Chains A and B, each alone.
Chain A
């Protein structure tokens, strides 16, 4: 069974600096999707970024980018120029190309220091 591990329960970063959140997953499949979601204090989940496993190019959305290492089964999220509004829980999720269920990590709480 697939699993997703976020090894950092909490991270903190100074405003305007860069932070990287880690995510590893376990799968025997070659085709799948990976996602990062943000859950701010309002608790509504927001999709941050998406990666298709068959694409080698790392996905980027404005200040958010990923480092996708397929062989290492690693999918880290880099947030550049951190802003106060980035403070939230961040969840990594895996979706098999065959099965439609998302497998979620336990989350990383990101604190932004002004």
Chain B
């Protein structure tokens, strides 16, 4: 079945560590997105990529980095510069660059700072 796989499901980070969240899709979608979700809030865009080797910052990119070396993969690194990283992270993809037909989401990664 086609879909988006996010791993791990739960991730714990110590202060000062960088951690990487994985996102892989086998839908042949062009665009991929990373969102952060905090309790009681809607989703906030961290980064997005419309084509391989290109990506743009979203509303809350500070403290995060991404790469898009393959169409199928869009990993997110949460760096030590992100002061409040505890949140739920969702990866999504869409046909075409604009997502006119909506997004397909992964099942998310819950990141906790310990």
Residues of A within 8 A of B (CB): 4, 33, 35, 37, 42-47, 50, 91, 95, 100-102, 104-107
Chain B residues engaging chain A, CB cutoff 8 angstroms: 31, 40-45, 48, 50, 58-59, 88, 90, 92, 97-108
Flag if A44 contacts B107 (CB, 8 Å). Answer: yes
Say whether chain B's binding surface is mostly helix, strand, loop, or mixed: loop
Contact of A45 among B44, B90, B100 (CB under 8 A): B90
- Set of chain B residues within 8 Å of A43, measured between Cβ atoms: 88, 107-108
Q: Using a Cβ cutoff of 8 Å, how many contacts connect chains A and B?
A: 51
Q: Please classify the interface of chain A as helix (H, G, I), strand (E, B), loop, or mixed, using the class held by over half of its residues.
A: strand
Find chain B residues with CB under 8 A from A46 CB. Answer: 105
Closest to B100 in A: A33
Contact B42 A42 (CB under 8 A): no
Q: Is the CB of B107 within 8 A of A42?
A: yes
Task: Assess the A44–B108 pair: CB atoms within 8 A.
Answer: yes
